[in-house]
Amino acid sequence: MSIRLGTRASALAVAQSRMVADALSRASGESVELVEISTAGDRSTAPVAQLGVGVFVSALRDALGAKEIDLAVHSYKDLPTAPVDGLVIAATPQREDPRDALVARDGLTLAELPPGARVGTGAVRRLAQLHALGLPIETVPIRGNVDSRLRRVASGELDAVVVAYAGVVRLGRADEVTEILDPRQMLPAPAQGVLAVECRVDDHDLYDALRALDHVPTRAAVDAERALLATLEAGCSAPVAGLAEIVEHGAAVTVHAPAADKDGEIYLRGAVLSPDGRVAFRLSRTGTLADASTLGRLLADELLDAGANEVLGVQQ
């Protein structure tokens, strides 16, 4: 009998799930079949900020709990920070490049877009950071999968879109990217570029098989970024950004999580912005991989002390 892997039906979700299915099949020697599941987020055209946290994952988790599937693959940044009884994140495969990317007409970069250019994105975080840059562009909130967003540039409806670079890479469309955005301009969402592979906590054999897919530095980076998010009491649709990078010789050297031991260091950056980008708090902190979650909580506390609580509406 095949292992049943639950996935959203979008092209990106299926591509990501197929990557995990192939890796699991190699590790376990078992066949893995994809089971497509429609989520509330897929069926709605409302902005994600209005739909709420977890809108893309609840149906998958319900199917896991009902034993209709054996595991689920999520984009980690879509997951609420609170754990779910009976379920466990068994693996975080090695992170794809977490940066954001611009896809623009005529091969333009962000700085080259003309005044009044229409730039679309679906994330409050990206919209806020675009506003903060002070460029003479018009930002357009959009929904839809990666394919539909890129089509809006190709059709001329938009001059550019900002999307997660990891998604474009996984769809095999990286050649359409006109600029990979520096995190100093556009700090990514916590856990961007990371997949979360979830199963039932009592499915010990599957859990053990999935552990072979886990990448320790990626898990540490995610732990730091999501501890930051949880301590700020902010969901995946809040104007919060965070990126943990591996530190070598006192400097963050890569946006990917390399092979590193648990005693390595992490450089964590965090940002909280108002939706219009006029108010921004940006701080950073260094800690160890072994204490990644503590690092995230400490940086969040510093951001709140600096005044980020006023932007987020968090009571201290």
Rg (CA), the chain: 19
Residue 260, pLDDT above cutoff 60: no
- Residue where the block lists tokens 């089971």: 35
Describe the chain by its helix, strand, coil percentages, rounded to 5: 35, 25, 40
Q: pLDDT tens-digit profile of 215-256?
A: 999 999 999 999 999 999 865 556 899 999 988 766 666 656
Supply the pLDDT for residue 262. Answer: 59
C-alpha separations of 178 from 102, 105, 108, 188 in Å = 6, 8, 6, 18
Residue 277, pLDDT above cutoff 70: yes
Q: Where in the chain are all domains bearing CATH 3.40.190.10? A: 3-92+195-214, 100-180
- CATH superfamily for domain 3-92+195-214: Periplasmic binding protein-like II (3.40.190.10)
> What does the alpha-carbon distance between residue 62 and residue 168 come to, in Å, rounded to a whole number?
28
> What does the alpha-carbon distance between residue 165 and residue 147 come to, in Å, rounded to a whole number?
13
Residue 284, pLDDT above cutoff 80: yes
∠ CA 80-83-87, nearest 5°, is 115
Q: Where in the chain are all domains bearing CATH 3.30.160.40? A: 219-309
∠ CA 19-21-26, nearest 5°, is 100
User: What percent of the chain lies above the pLDDT cut of 90?
Assistant: 80
Residue 41, pLDDT above cutoff 90: no
Supply the pLDDT for residue 246. Answer: 87
> What does the alpha-carbon distance between residue 113 and residue 49 come to, in Å, rounded to a whole number?
27
> What does the alpha-carbon distance between residue 289 and residue 286 come to, in Å, rounded to a whole number?
10
> What does the alpha-carbon distance between residue 124 and residue 130 come to, in Å, rounded to a whole number?
10
Supply the pLDDT for residue 40. Answer: 55
Token pair in block for residue 144: 């839809």
pTM of the model: 0.90
CATH of domain 219-309: 3.30.160.40
100-180: CATH topology is: D-Maltodextrin-Binding Protein; domain 2 (3.40.190)
Q: pLDDT tens-digit profile of 88-143?
A: 999 999 999 999 999 999 999 999 999 999 999 989 999 999 999 999 999 999 98
Residue 42, pLDDT above cutoff 80: no
Supply the pLDDT for residue 314. Answer: 56
Supply the pLDDT for residue 138. Answer: 97
Set 70, 78, 100, 203: catalytic member: 78
Where is average pLDDT lowest: 56-70, 121-135, 197-211, 258-272? Answer: 258-272
H helix count then E strand count, the chain: 11, 14
> What does the alpha-carbon distance between residue 127 and residue 10 come to, in Å, rounded to a whole number?
23
C-alpha separations of 111 from 108, 122, 141, 179, 253 in Å = 8, 20, 20, 10, 25
Residue type (1 letter), 228: L
Supply the pLDDT for residue 257. Answer: 56
User: What percent of the chain lies above the pLDDT cut of 70?
Assistant: 87
Average pLDDT over residues 167-179: 97
Q: Phi, psi (5° rounding) for residue 300?
A: -60, -40
78 flagged as catalytic: yes
